[in-house]
Amino acid sequence: MGKFRESVDVRALRFAVGFPLALAAAFVVCALLIRSNLPEPLAVRWSGAGAVDFAPFGAVVGVGAAMIVLIGWAVLLQAAPLSRPALLRRFMMGMGLTVSLFVTAVLAAVLVGQLGLANAREAKVDVTILAMGSGAALGLGVVMGFVFKADERWSADDERAVQAALERELDPDLAKDSMSLWVHARSSVFVMLAIATLFPAALLSIAVPWLSALLVAAAVLAALFLFARIRVDRSGLRVFAAGFVRVLDVPAGAISAATPKQIKAADFGGWGYRSHGGTTAMLVASGPAVVVDRSDGRRVAVSGGSVTAADNVAQVLSRVAARARRNGGTPVS
């Protein structure tokens, strides 16, 4: 909830939600006040020969109120996100007000044009109400666009950026103790995966479309989990399968040693995330990797991408583990 409040202008959001609701409620109340002077059913569409389509009073008022709310929300809510340029937010706020009022003016002109008639076939849209309402909607929208304050504000992201800059300034070694890299399987693996799944899926799509879609989804999921993001900093080692699913989290205080090695994925159970006995691995290919010995006797293995990258990861892990021990970090099992 906190992140949501930091990403939107709460005052603009309240107005964007509340104004169309209030406008729709006012329209319904006014329609009910003149209900006794309106024919039943009401005309809702005209052609050159006059009214051609009709609807009950309740349907006209209900659908009209819903249109006011939904159309108003669709435009006004575009002014709430703080990530958008201030000029765009001001334009969308003014446009939203104009559109909401214009829809209301059209609906009012339809109702007023039928006042005092016994038969809706004689009804016409009240041009005076439509013209006055449209002019007011445009004018008020322009005014809203000018008075709405959509200036960029100091956000939590700015605060975190300043804090990170201060930490780097006060601790020059911080940058050396932090690194992030992506690792993935060899291209030949993805080619084999495509041959094994996508080609059969293309043939099955003729006879069993749902099975074809299932095969494609399985292929995409398998391909995603042959990617991994490795993040190392002073808090320790974190590994994210497919870039966002955290599968490994080793605190710096729990690391006793980190060694770059050439390994075979089969020795650790194969590609992907594996956990067996005292060993946990996230491997996307055989080859360069980092093997981490934990203080509780367990081991962790992660792909390193290249020999150089694996060596860098091992060095950073060794350094942050030594720092954690010096600072009194207790091993976490």
pLDDT of residue 155: 60
C-beta contacts of 59-64 below 8 A and 24+ residues apart: 60/110, 60/111, 61/27, 61/28, 61/31, 61/32, 64/27, 64/31, 64/103, 64/107
Whether 242 and 258 have beta carbons less than 8 Å apart is answered as no
pLDDT of residue 152: 58
pLDDT of residue 301: 93
- Tokens of residue 259, six digits: 């060694």
177-326 is a CATH 2.30.29.30 domain: yes
pLDDT of residue 251: 92
Strand ranges across the sheet with 236-241: 179-184, 227-233, 236-241, 245-251
Instruction: Name the H helices within the chain.
Output: 2-7, 10-33, 57-76, 86-112, 127-147, 156-170, 187-207, 209-224, 307-326
Whether 125 and 114 have beta carbons less than 8 Å apart is answered as no
Question: Domain coordinates of the chain in residue numbers?
Answer: 2-147, 177-326
Peptide bond preceding 200 in cis form (omega within 30 of 0): no
- Tokens of residue 124, six digits: 């016409």
Do strands 287-294 and 179-184 pair parallel, antiparallel, or not at all (unpaired)?
Answer: unpaired
pLDDT of residue 5: 63
Tens of pLDDT, residue by residue, the chain (333 residues): 556 666 777 888 888 899 999 999 998 998 888 888 888 888 888 777 777 788 888 888 888 899 999 999 999 888 888 878 888 888 888 998 999 999 999 988 888 888 877 777 777 888 888 899 888 889 888 888 888 877 656 566 667 777 877 767 776 667 778 889 999 988 888 888 888 887 787 777 777 788 888 888 888 888 888 899 999 988 899 999 988 889 999 998 899 999 999 999 888 888 888 888 889 999 998 999 999 999 888 999 999 989 999 999 999 999 999 888 887 654 443
pLDDT of residue 333: 37
At 259, which helix (H) or strand (E)? strand 255-263
pLDDT of residue 42: 83
Terminal alpha carbon distance of the chain: 32
The pTM of the full predicted model, rounded to 2 decimals, is 0.50
pLDDT of residue 309: 92
